[in-house]
């Protein structure tokens, strides 16, 4: 019996003119959170699609619970209990939470072939309760926050008896508090025996959750280390292929005259009394939590939407 629930050896995936994966290796133990890290373009997204049956590799072997497998479709991986939760949540916003959880595997009466809505709502509530989420299964999916939608995606994976859950940049759009809640759910899943592949650019995600980290660079496997065995410097070197002597290099460049001024910009329901200016050669940070109105302010500056009042001086 293999010590790994999932093992990939020598996986190569080629697209026209591009080797998206070049002889990469990866393994995952039961009840383990294993981080996969690398720069954009390292091959992480293609790797997910190979595991979930979206792409078939040209070379290499995949083993699940010690048995060699060949994923021809996404159904093949789902039947074995492999589920993916993506950075940009893929759901049906106009349907209910229950419908999103059970879409594609609805509970149906064997006699009448009618959907058993009460059974589905009850089971959806049980799944949500199991991950500590106080969400009404009848709620319309599109009314939930990004964090709540990710929790529903986890419940959906559990509804299909997932043994492996791939989390792709799960905290990218979450606040610190929301990230903490997601950490607790991931740890709870791990403790119940679910294996998790954590793909993240954030070192804090890796240090908080993972026991091991594998690094890809330029579509190639670089190495695998215990999280408590590798330093930040060594991890960065593995990811980018060079030493980063200055993580925050000194800013250079001269600041010139003012080029844009915003005074008292308002749009009802989105933002109010926004004022700032920016000068030549300057980088101005506009920050805030998700839903604070940053995007809407920029859309008003660009002319996509019209502000109710205020001045934009160019």
- DSSP letters spanning 198-240: EE-S-HHHHHHH-SEEEEEETTEEEEEEEGGG--HHHHHHHHH
- Give the pLDDT of residue 170: 87
Please state which CATH number belongs to domain 4-240.
3.40.50.300
Average pLDDT over residues 181-190: 92
CB 310 within 8 A of CB 265: yes
Residue spans in the chain of domains classed CATH 3.40.50.300: 4-240
Q: Can you tell me the distance from the alpha carbon of 181 to that of 174, in angstroms, rounded to the nearest whole number? A: 10
Task: Give the global pTM.
Answer: 0.78
Residues sharing a CB contact under 8 Å with residue 38, sequence separation 6 or more, in sequence order? 44, 215, 216, 217, 222, 239
What tens digit of pLDDT does each residue of 94-115 get? 999 999 999 988 999 999 999 9
- Give the pLDDT of residue 245: 67
CB 12 within 8 A of CB 23: yes
- Percentage of the chain exceeding pLDDT 90: 76
What tens digit of pLDDT does each residue of 114-132 get? 999 999 999 999 999 998 8
- Give the pLDDT of residue 212: 97
Regarding predicted confidence, which is higher, 177 or 278?
A: 278
């Amino acid at each position: 019996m293999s010590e790994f629930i999932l093992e990939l050896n020598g996986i190569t995936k080629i697209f026209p003119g591009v080797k998206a994966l070049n002889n990469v290796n990866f393994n995952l133990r039961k009840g383990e959170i294993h981080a996969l890290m690398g720069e954009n373009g390292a091959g992480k997204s293609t790797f997910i699609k190979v595991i979930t049956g979206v792409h078939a590799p040209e070379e290499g072997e995949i083993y699940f619970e010690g048995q060699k497998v060949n994923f021809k479709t996404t159904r093949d991986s789902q039947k074995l209990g492999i589920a993916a939760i993506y950075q940009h949540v893929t759901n049906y916003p106009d349907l209910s939470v229950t419908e999103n959880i059970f879409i594609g595997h609805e509970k149906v009466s064997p006699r009448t072939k009618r959907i058993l809505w009460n059974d589905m709502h009850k089971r959806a509530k049980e799944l949500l309760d199991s991950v500590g989420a106080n969400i009404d299964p009848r709620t319309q999916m599109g009314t939930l926050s990004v964090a709540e939608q990710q929790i529903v995606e986890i419940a959906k994976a559990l509804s299909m008896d997932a043994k492996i859950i791939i989390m792709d940049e799960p905290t990218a759009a979450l606040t610190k508090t929301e990230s903490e809640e997601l950490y607790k759910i991931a740890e709870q899943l791990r403790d119940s025996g679910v294996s998790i592949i954590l793909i993240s650019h954030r070192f804090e995600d890796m240090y908080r959750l993972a026991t091991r980290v594998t690094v890809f660079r330029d579509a190639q496997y670089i190495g695998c280390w215990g999280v408590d065995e590798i330093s930040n410097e060594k991890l960065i070197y593995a990811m980018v292929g060079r030493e980063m002597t200055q993580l925050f290099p000194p800013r250079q460049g001269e600041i010139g005259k003012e080029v844009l001024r915003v005074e008292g910009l308002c749009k009802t329901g989105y933002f109010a009394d926004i004022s700032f200016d920016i000068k030549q050669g300057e980088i101005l940070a506009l920050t805030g939590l998700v839903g604070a109105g940053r995007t809407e302010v920029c859309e008003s500056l660009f002319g996509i939407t019209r502000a109710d009042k205020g001045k934009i001086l160019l």
